[in-house]
Amino acid sequence: MISTLEFSASPKASILIIYTGGTLGMDYDEKGALVPCDFERVVARIPLLKELNINLSVISFEPPIDSSNVKIEHWVQIGQIIKDNYAAFDGFIVLHGTDTMAYSASALSYMLQGLNKPVIFTGAQLPIASPRSDGRENFVTALEIAADMRDGRPVVSEVCIFFNHLLLRGNRSKKVESRHFDAFESENYPVLAEAGIVIDYNYAALKEYDPAAELIFYPELKDEIVILKLFPGINHKVVSHILNTPSIKGVIMESYGSGNVPHQPWFLDLLESAVNKGVVVLNVSQCNGGNVIQGKYEASSALNQIGIISGGDLTIEAATTKMMHLFGRSVELDEIRKNLITSISGEMN
């Protein structure tokens, strides 16, 4: 059910807020403990909302969820809400916990093809009830960005994260801090906007508005994937167990540096065996800002020969959700492999 807060008879925009929960939406109960609260209490903490000349409508998850509990069905729920209300609103704000925000933003960037309106995720490191909460600034500025128009068109027409003065492409973002306000970064792609006295947009980095695009929603996501994170001393038994997990269709391998792996016969043999059985193996870097270049060093040169796919500069969040999305759309391995190395929503160079 949509609840509407009309602050202006002639607003510059109408924005739908999808309130999923998270730290931003916490307040103190009668015992002084922080608990998730309903959206009306969030609004009461931010009286500035009435001065934005934006009409707000709200759909709240019941009950609100902690982002560590986010599942595929929650991504589908968010996407379905946007699809169902796409024509009625100028933009969308998703209030979400920070722990899995980059995963959710990445997933929605693939699920909402042909998007021509802003979908901006935001949240907070400190609850809205805290006197020093960053939630007010994050929320208010995200609303301003979602409402911004240029020549009658939205300035932003993609899935983003706004946090601590920075607007980042959602599928290029990664949470890197839990104790400071600058929780997110985008090492492999420029900042889309920086909010100071004014909001300074990096127009060259923003996705270009496409007047001919029509929204297509892809709700199918498959979870038959696993992440293989390499570490010094990883052994045959562990790798074999992961690669031979029943029903697994895809493996995301977090390698060292620019895509390097142990150059040991048993390790390469296990990878090759998995590929020969039809398992898709995608190689991404463990490094923040890493870029896999298979063959740059001897330690990765054999990967091309055995059919390992280079993930380029994909983040682990973007790689995970992209693989889920592609397996949901197709069963043809050649098509999946091709699309893994092709940018779908600006997630890779």
Give the Cα separation of 162 and 143 in Å (integer).
10
Q: Are 115 and 215 in contact (CB under 8 A)?
A: yes
Q: Are 115 and 170 in contact (CB under 8 A)?
A: no
Give the Cα separation of 171 and 130 in Å (integer).
29
Give the Cα separation of 24 and 183 in Å (integer).
14
Give the Cα separation of 300 and 24 in Å (integer).
43
Q: Are 252 and 318 in contact (CB under 8 A)?
A: no
> Strand, helix or coil at 138?
helix
Tokens of 235: 């052994």
Residue type, 325: H
Q: Are 302 and 263 in contact (CB under 8 A)?
A: yes
- From the list 174, 189, 186, 21, the residue with the least C-alpha distance to 102 is 174
173-203 burial, b for 16+ CB within 10 Å, e for fewer? bbbeeeeebebbbbebbebbbebeeebebee
Mark whether 23 is an active-site residue: yes
- Active-site residue (options: 4, 20, 23, 245): 23
- CA angle, residues 124, 147, 73, in degrees to nearest 5: 55
HEC string for 250-283: EEEEEEECCCECCCCHHHHHHHHHHHHCCCEEEE
Q: Are 22 and 95 in contact (CB under 8 A)?
A: yes
Q: Which residues are catalytic?
A: 23
